[in-house]
Structure 1
Amino acid sequence: MPEKRQSRRRFLTASGVALTAALAGCTLNPPQGSGQESSNNSGFPDDPVTPQTQEEIPASSQFSEVYQETIDSVAAVRATGASSSSGGTAWVYDDSHLVTNAHVVRDATEIYLRFRQSGWLQAELVGSDGHSDLAVLQADLPDSATPLELTDQPHPVGTRVAALGNPFGLTGSFTTGIISGRNRTISIPNSRFSTPDGIQTDAAVNPGNSGGPLITLDGVVVGVVNATQGDNVGFAISAAMVRRVVPELIETGNYDHSYLGIALSDVTPALIEANDFGNYTFGVYVNGTAPDGPSDGILQGSETTTTIRGREVEVGGDLIVRMGEWTIQNRERLSAYLALETRPGDTVDIEVVRDGETRTVQVTLGTRPEL
């Protein structure tokens, strides 16, 4: 957990509401003025009037409470470059740092933030990791912008969550839903790699939500909104990934990811029929290894192909069924193990099925190539 200033938040007794956000692309108002009429001149909506008691409107009161407890720690982001500008969302991580998406601030020469209780503030980019799509900003924060708590445990599917952000430049927006899936693989803009351990949500997210927090109704951050793939399907980078990447971005400005150096695919019925995998019906099939990569000469890729019911199927590659202490059921599991349990330079035990026999090999992990 990052060091925190004394928080003004009360403990909320509800469980959560879901959210996720689209890739950056909204146009925010320029720093010199909001361009919107508002009695508080901040660009954020005025505090809602809540004359009713919680007994009269328990659900909306619960949502309003978590909104009021967290919104001052969420900022609109405007990033400008030599030929373009983009907008998104950031949230307060510690006394001087904020977290957002790397794609929101990519190629930016100037970055501005706007909180509900402030005008536009200039921010500096501390570090950025394109592979996880996380970035850290630094700014002189207003007193009302206190750090949000980052969860230290996974929350199950069905947990209610909420997304705070600035969709289409609509500052201070709040949408709700549930965690509708876990362990998703998230595609990252401009990258041939993806990020594992993602959270799926049905909370409404749109361009401009990118980088904003996905929170439970206790106000705890479970993910960083990253993308949307249509109605009711949004994604967030998990808190577990944030915990690994962000501290190193603050310390060094960069983060190195483990690299196995293989082409892989999930095992299928056709692969099982074409190869001798013994009793294994799950795992990750090694299609090939990167020349001179960490696995070259250690793991075995496909040697040839055969035809199964009119379809060409690869034959001869290893089937990975275990890495370290983790059973590897599929690609998502393998990617999550590399991302959350290892660092470049680690030597890992990999259990494979080769030619009908189970064996354990050791691979020393490399560093994932730059984007």
Structure 2
Amino acid sequence: MEKRKLFINFVAGILGGVLVLLIYTITTDQEIKSVQSNNQYATTGQQGNFINKTIDSNQTRGLNSRPVGQYSPVSMLENEMVTAAQKTVDAVVHVKTAYVQEYNYGNPFMEYFFGQGSQRRSQPVLGSGSGVIISEDGYIVTNNHVIDKAQKIKVILNDKREFDAEVIGTDPGTDIALLKVNEGNLPYVKPANSDDVQVGEWVLAVGNPFNLTSTVTAGIVSAKARNINLMKENYGIEAFIQTDAAVNPGNSGGALVNRKGELIGINTAIASKTGSYTGYSFAVPVNIAMKVVEDLIEYGQVQRAVMGIMIHDLNESFAAENDIETLNGVYIDNINQGGAADKAGIKPGDVIVRIGTVNIDNVAQLQEQLSKFRPGDQLKVTLLRNNREIERDVVLQNKMGSTDIIKGEDPLVNLGARFEPITKKEKKLLNISHGMKIVELKSGKLRSAGIHEGFIILTMNGMEIVSGNDIRQVIEQSKGGIMVEGIYPNGMKAYYAFGK
């Protein structure tokens, strides 16, 4: 009896297990079908890898794809970035440059014993970078260091058309240069307001790194108004947009654009110990670049407006020592007598906290805001004096101390050279009594005439050259061509001519 009862319980247990297993299998199969009918993803279990499931034979879905008509924030961002790239890539050009570098070559042994002087040799130097077309009639923005010293500049469009480019003007203080090609109906990028750029927003960098044409990289804005001590020029302005979009050699002069495909900056530099991208890149804000462009087109040179002040950033220890209750703003150390700030009643010890409606936290931000104005412009400056806000109306001046717009360029600027008086040693060695030596030569009339760095100008149009003012005077008084006579450090005399 006991055995029969035990057998019946055993059989019932087996039947119950089979029934439960059958119900589980049917239910699970329905759930899987339901998931496959309503969800594009399935997982492999432990690894969690996504497997593509095709519902419609006309749709192919990958990891980031979604059914037509269904958009998440990620897919919207992707679409925006793709559209921004399409808007930009045809308007970013490849800039190629060439110039001839001269150097002295000699044998010290032969020179010492036989008096054979050194010889001048030359070698071609090629360079490349990027540029951004900003108007359909052929104006192109790039970096000054991309075309510096170039004797020939060629731009190549994304559709492979090539054009010779003319240098309209340069501004080493912002590392911006303006080129022009004789062609119309070109694709171009519209500028945005770089003041509206937000830290954390997505951006694209478009350029030609390592001669890889039409390359697009993506990142976010990491910081604004960044100063990296790159500009060595007087009145240099650094207020870079910092991004983590990959930028490498060849990207210089290319476009940094927002998600709408609008230009917000000109890619200029990278922070790297290797020479290649290692995490951060820097772009000149488009507001600064376009102000430079407008000045070069309208006036022939950049109109730099100054307040006539010496300034520095605030930090906690300095603020505590000087009883300043804020760490935001720019501290004024000194005032130039008769300068714009002095005439407006600004004093040493004041802290600039706002220009117009824009808050000022550091020196780079102040430089960025001032770069938008020209001499003679008036702006409202908000200061802290004894920790109380006051306002002053400042009429900006040029670097010469007046409010005039300076039209045209100094004649020496067009020469593309920096001069220094010759030394007593050079006078004795070369048996000359005067002259101005070219210690640095960039793109300009002298390089175009065939003159090389190191050349000592002795006379111009028959006038002895003793100072830079002598060179300026000859150019201003000349009505035609200018004849130049001089000597190289190896003793070789040379003659050149160029037009005014």
The question of a shared fold, defined as TM-score above 0.5 by the shorter chain, is answered with yes
Q: 1:156 to 1:255 in 2, by over 3 A?
A: same
Contact 2:288/2:368 (<8 A) preserved = no
Calculate percent identity across the aligned residue pairs: 29
Q: Are positions 1:285 and 2:326 aligned together? A: no
How many residues align? The count is 302
Given candidates 192, 195, 202, the residue that maps to 2:244 is: 202
Q: Are positions 1:72 and 2:90 aligned together? A: yes
Q: 1:329 to 1:111 in 2, by over 3 A?
A: same
Structure 1 residue 177, shift from structure 2 partner? 1.3
1:86-105 aligned within 5 A = 86-95=127-136, 96-105=138-147
Aligned-partner Cα distance in 2 for 1:62–1:338: 33
Q: 1:81 to 1:368 in 2, by over 3 A?
A: farther
Aligned-partner Cα distance in 2 for 1:358–1:220: 37
Letter in 2 for 1:118: K
Given candidates 304, 319, 326, the residue that maps to 1:257 is: 304
Aligned-partner Cα distance in 2 for 1:337–1:271: 24
Letter in 2 for 1:124: E
Aligned-partner Cα distance in 1 for 2:256–2:160: 22
Given candidates 240, 256, 259, the residue that maps to 1:214 is: 256
Q: If each structure's strand is expressed as a fraction of its own residues, which one has the higher value?
A: 1
Question: For 1:258, what is the secondary structure of its paired residue?
Answer: coil
Q: Are positions 1:168 and 2:168 aligned together? A: no
Question: For 1:206, what is the secondary structure of its paired residue?
Answer: coil
Structure 1 residue 360, shift from structure 2 partner? 4.8
Instruction: Give the structure 2 partner of residue 337 of structure 1.
Output: 369
Structure 1 residue 211, shift from structure 2 partner? 0.6
Q: 1:299 to 1:155 in 2, by over 3 A?
A: closer
Question: For 1:171, what is the secondary structure of its paired residue?
Answer: coil
Letter in 2 for 1:212: G
Question: For 2:370, what is the secondary structure of its paired residue?
Answer: helix
Aligned-partner Cα distance in 1 for 2:332–2:322: 12
Question: For 1:210, what is the secondary structure of its paired residue?
Answer: coil
Aligned-partner Cα distance in 1 for 2:354–2:83: 45
Q: If each structure's helix is expressed as a fraction of its own residues, which one has the higher value?
A: 2
Q: 1:155 to 1:280 in 2, by over 3 A?
A: closer
Aligned-partner Cα distance in 1 for 2:100–2:347: 47
Letter in 1 for 2:240: G
Write the deviation string for residues 73-119 of structure 1: whole angstroms up to 9, x where unpaired. 22111223342443210121112211111221223222111123235
Instruction: Give the structure 1 partner of residue 166 of structure 2.
Output: 124
Aligned-partner Cα distance in 1 for 2:256–2:156: 19
Letter in 1 for 2:397: G
Aligned-partner Cα distance in 2 for 1:160–1:87: 27
Instruction: Give the structure 2 partner of residue 241 of structure 1.
Output: 288
Write the deviation string for residues 193-242 of structure 1: whole angstroms up to 9, x where unpaired. 44354311101111111110112343222211011113221111122223
Letter in 2 for 1:333: Q
Contact 1:187/1:195 (<8 A) preserved = no
Contact 1:187/1:193 (<8 A) preserved = no
Q: 1:210 to 1:273 in 2, by over 3 A?
A: same
Q: 1:100 to 1:281 in 2, by over 3 A?
A: closer
Contact 2:99/2:152 (<8 A) preserved = yes
Rg larger in structure: 2
Instruction: Give the structure 1 partner of residue 360 of structure 2.
Output: 328
Structure 1 residue 256, shift from structure 2 partner? 1.0
Letter in 1 for 2:201: T
Q: 1:162 to 1:187 in 2, by over 3 A?
A: same
1:106-121 aligned within 5 A = 106-121=148-163
Given candidates 390, 395, 398, the residue that maps to 1:367 is: 398
Structure 1 residue 259, shift from structure 2 partner? 1.2
The two structures, once aligned, show a CA RMSD in angstroms of 3.3
Structure 1 unaligned blocks of 5 or more: 1-51, 302-316
Letter in 2 for 1:146: P
Aligned-partner Cα distance in 1 for 2:264–2:60: 26
Aligned-partner Cα distance in 2 for 1:195–1:161: 23
TM-score using structure 2 length: 0.53
Letter in 1 for 2:331: Y
Q: 1:181 to 1:322 in 2, by over 3 A?
A: closer
Contact 1:265/1:286 (<8 A) preserved = yes
Aligned-partner Cα distance in 1 for 2:184–2:383: 54
Aligned-partner Cα distance in 2 for 1:137–1:290: 36
Contact 2:229/2:238 (<8 A) preserved = no
1:35-50 aligned within 5 A = none
- For CA contacts below 8 A with separation 6 or more, give which structure has more relative contact order: 1
Contact 1:185/1:194 (<8 A) preserved = no
Contact 1:215/1:221 (<8 A) preserved = yes
Question: For 2:174, what is the secondary structure of its paired residue?
Answer: coil
Structure 1 residue 62, shift from structure 2 partner? 6.9
Aligned-partner Cα distance in 2 for 1:217–1:355: 44
Deviates more, 1:266-275 or 1:65-74: 65-74
